[in-house]
């Protein structure tokens, strides 16, 4: 631990007060004010002892230079979670709420060296084939559909009704999901991240991904699934299912939060509204100051080692705080000097996000289209009453309630007043059904 002249004061509510204990990143206090926690953690030096869930200990790198050193040294710091000592020793239960995002799976996120290179190349090359114009068209279509579900109400929760749904619909389109498989993909991914029966949701997702692979083997299409399976890396069925589940899982939650956090920024900072047309800038500012994946990039030292003055043992869990590194004093100067994309929101090194271009494109299109359709959209509650979902990894609003002038329906079918029971259902947060669900309804809407 680095010595400091002034004694650090833990943020309010932090049980580290006076006890010298690990700093918990899983409570409502952390979700309410993460920057106060990062400020406190910086007093430990480049890295600090944290707790990700009760009993799950980790070292969190908060300094930009140390973060880059770790992310770029894949010989010393490995991604293969089978090296996680505490998990192997049974100190972390497979039922822990953080296990789904940390436990090993055979995909490019949890592999190293040649294995990683092969899986990642297949993913990168397939995502690179996504045509930008097609992506714009489908994102706009999905955006229009989602807005049509609430436009006449004059109020909405832009998280539950929009930011959460849109990425899942876009993925179904990109991956070539027919109605019944797409419904189960929506059901599976939503359940995994909402923690509502996560085990059943994971099972449904993997089953649906397996069926999609079988379908595309028999009848390839013009979609990411088919490109991935025809890639020269020659992925087998099991590898296909794992890469598809990773793309959906690694994409859906951060993309929902990138859209949500960018909308939040636009609705709470006068400047963007006043100057107009600054969506790109709001997006970059979000990536700097409120990145959707705030603390992640789990790594494990291959042998006992040292990082920026901190001793680490082989198999220790080490994470990077992208949010703390981005907002640390060292980076302020670089940002002020005009280096606008030097932030770590997409991580860096061999495991950096391979989909940042499509993710940016989907976000800008989704936000732009919403603001065009609902030009007077405004926050419906005081800013300081907005709640953020607890958890160490994602910076995620729980809801984003807004109001706007009710829009007139653009299609005759949207204008029909819904029966009272349906209106009630529409006002409640959408919960995907496993069958006959939201993807089927969207496909039906498209053909009306
Ligand atoms: C189209 C949506 C997205 C897809 C399909 C996607 C996919 C992926 C994949 C497959 C990886 C693993 C790469 C590897 O380990 O070699 C990854 C890593 C990562 N992605 Fe994305 N992503 C998406 C959107 C986002 C967004 C919106 C963010 C946040 C701004 C983000 C941040 C990251 C970060 C920080 C990592 C590194 C994680 C780590 O090292 O453990 N991604 N992404």
Q: Express each pLDDT in 148-157 by its tens digit.
A: 999 999 999 9
Query: Looking at residue 194, what is its pLDDT?
Result: 66
Residue 312 φ then ψ, to 5°: -130, 145
Token representation of residue 181: 């498989």
Report the chain's terminal Cα–Cα distance, integer Å.
64
Q: What separation in Å is there between the alpha carbon of 410 and the centre of ligand 1? A: 36
- Give the DSSP H/E element, type plus range, for residue 320: strand 318-321
| Lowest model confidence (mean pLDDT) among 75-84, 213-222, 227-236, 439-448 | 439-448
Helix axes 198-218, 179-194, angle to 10 degrees: 150
Q: For ligand 1, is residue 297 a contact (CB within 6 Å)? A: yes
- Looking from the CA of residue 344, the nearest atom of ligand 1 is 35
Average pLDDT (395-424) is 67
Q: Please say if the pLDDT value at position 78 is more than 70.
A: yes
Q: For ligand 1, is residue 108 a contact (CB within 6 Å)? A: yes
Q: Please say if the pLDDT value at position 390 is more than 80.
A: yes
Query: Looking at residue 2, what is its pLDDT?
Result: 43
Contact predicate 404/147, CB 8 Å: no
Q: How far apart are CA 128 and CA 174, in angstroms?
A: 12
Ligand 1 pocket mutation, candidates 84, 355, 361, 366, criterion most atoms within 8 A of CB = 355
% of the chain residues with pLDDT over 70? 86
Q: Please say if the pLDDT value at position 10 is more than 80.
A: no
| Lowest model confidence (mean pLDDT) among 23-37, 227-241, 331-345 | 331-345
Query: Looking at residue 249, what is its pLDDT?
Result: 87
Q: For ligand 1, is residue 245 a contact (CB within 6 Å)? A: no
Q: How far apart are CA 49 and CA 297, in angstroms?
A: 16
Q: Please say if the pLDDT value at position 380 is more than 80.
A: yes
Q: What separation in Å is there between the alpha carbon of 441 and the centre of ligand 1? A: 29
Query: Looking at residue 4, what is its pLDDT?
Result: 43
Closest CA to 315 of 327, 305, 328: 305
Q: For ligand 1, is residue 358 a contact (CB within 6 Å)? A: yes
Contact predicate 63/343, CB 8 Å: no
| Lowest model confidence (mean pLDDT) among 197-201, 209-213, 278-282, 392-396 | 197-201
Q: Express each pLDDT in 168-213 by its tens digit.
A: 999 999 999 998 898 898 888 877 776 656 778 888 999 999 999 9
Q: Express each pLDDT in 290-325 by its tens digit.
A: 999 999 999 999 999 999 999 999 999 999 999 999
Q: Please say if the pLDDT value at position 448 is more than 80.
A: no
Query: Looking at residue 336, what is its pLDDT?
Result: 66
Q: For ligand 1, is residue 296 a contact (CB within 6 Å)? A: yes
CATH superfamily assigned to domain 23-446: Cytochrome P450 (1.10.630.10)
Q: Please say if the pLDDT value at position 345 is more than 80.
A: yes
Query: Looking at residue 21, what is its pLDDT?
Result: 79
Average pLDDT (374-396) is 95
Instruction: Kindly report the protein residue whose alpha carbon is nearest to atom 15 of ligand 1.
Output: 109
Q: How far apart are CA 336 and CA 329, in angstroms?
A: 11
Instruction: Kindly report the protein residue whose alpha carbon is nearest to atom 21 of ligand 1.
Output: 353
Q: Please say if the pLDDT value at position 47 is more than 70.
A: yes
Q: For the whole prediction, is pTM greater than 0.85?
A: yes
Query: Looking at residue 431, what is its pLDDT?
Result: 58
| Lowest model confidence (mean pLDDT) among 108-112, 117-121, 280-284, 399-403 | 280-284
* 250 contact partners, CB below 8 Å, separation of at least 6: 109, 353
- Looking from the CA of residue 246, the nearest atom of ligand 1 is 10
CA angle at 384 for the pair 382 and 390, rounded to the nearest 5°: 130
| Lowest model confidence (mean pLDDT) among 267-271, 303-307, 343-347 | 267-271
Q: How far apart are CA 358 and CA 127, in angstroms?
A: 8
- Looking from the CA of residue 363, the nearest atom of ligand 1 is 27
Q: For ligand 1, is residue 176 a contact (CB within 6 Å)? A: no
Instruction: Kindly report the protein residue whose alpha carbon is nearest to atom 24 of ligand 1.
Output: 251
* DSSP state for residue 365 in the 8-state scheme: H
Owner of token pair 């992640």 = 296
């Amino acid at each position: 631990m680095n010595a400091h002249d002034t004694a650090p004061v833990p943020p309010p509510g932090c049980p580290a007060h006076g006890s010298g204990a690990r700093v918990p990143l899983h409570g409502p206090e952390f979700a309410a004010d993460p920057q106060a926690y990062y400020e406190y953690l910086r007093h430990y030096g480049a890295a600090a002892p944290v707790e990700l869930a009760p009993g799950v200990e980790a070292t969190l790198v908060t300094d930009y230079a140390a973060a880059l050193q770790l992310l770029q040294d894949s010989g010393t710091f490995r991604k293969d979670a089978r090296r996680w000592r505490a998990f192997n020793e049974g100190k972390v239960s497979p039922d822990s709420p953080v296990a789904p995002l940390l436990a090993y799976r055979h995909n490019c996120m949890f592999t190293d060296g040649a294995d990683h290179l092969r899986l990642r190349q297949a993913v990168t090359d397939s995502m690179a084939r996504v045509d930008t114009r097609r992506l714009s068209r489908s994102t706009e279509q999905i955006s229009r559909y989602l807005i049509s579900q609430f436009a006449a109400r004059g109020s909405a929760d832009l998280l539950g009704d929009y930011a959460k749904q849109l990425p899942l619909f876009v993925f179904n389109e990109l991956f070539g999901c027919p109605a019944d498989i797409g419904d189960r993909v929506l059901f599976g991914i939503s359940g995994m991240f909402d923690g509502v029966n996560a085990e059943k949701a994971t099972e449904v997702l993997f089953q649906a991904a397996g069926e999609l692979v079988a379908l595309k083997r028999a009848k390839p299409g013009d979609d990411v699934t088919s490109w991935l399976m025809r890639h020269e890396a020659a992925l087998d069925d099991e590898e296909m299912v794992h890469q598809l589940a990773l793309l959906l899982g690694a994409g859906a939650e951060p993309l929902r939060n990138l859209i949500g956090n960018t909308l939040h920024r636009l609705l709470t900072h006068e400047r963007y509204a006043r100057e107009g047309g600054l969506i790109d800038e709001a997006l970059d500012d979000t990536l700097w100051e409120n990145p959707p994946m705030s603390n992640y990039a789990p790594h494990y030292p291959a042998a006992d080692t040292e990082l920026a003055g901190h001793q680490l043992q082989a198999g220790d869990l080490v994470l990077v705080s992208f949010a703390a590194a981005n907002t640390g004093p060292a980076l302020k100067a670089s940002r002020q000097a005009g280096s606008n994309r030097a932030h770590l929101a997409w991580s860096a090194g061999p495991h950096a996000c391979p989909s940042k271009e499509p993710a940016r494109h989907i976000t800008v299109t989704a936000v732009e289209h919403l603001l065009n359709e609902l030009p007077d959209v405004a926050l419906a509650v005081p800013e300081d009453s907005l709640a953020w979902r607890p958890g160490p990894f994602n910076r995620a609003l729980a809801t984003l309630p807004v109001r706007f002038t009710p829009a007139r329906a653009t299609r005759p079918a949207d204008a029909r007043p819904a029966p009272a029971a349906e209106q009630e259902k529409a006002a409640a947060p959408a919960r995907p059904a496993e069958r006959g669900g939201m993807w089927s309804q969207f496909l039906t809407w498209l053909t009306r």
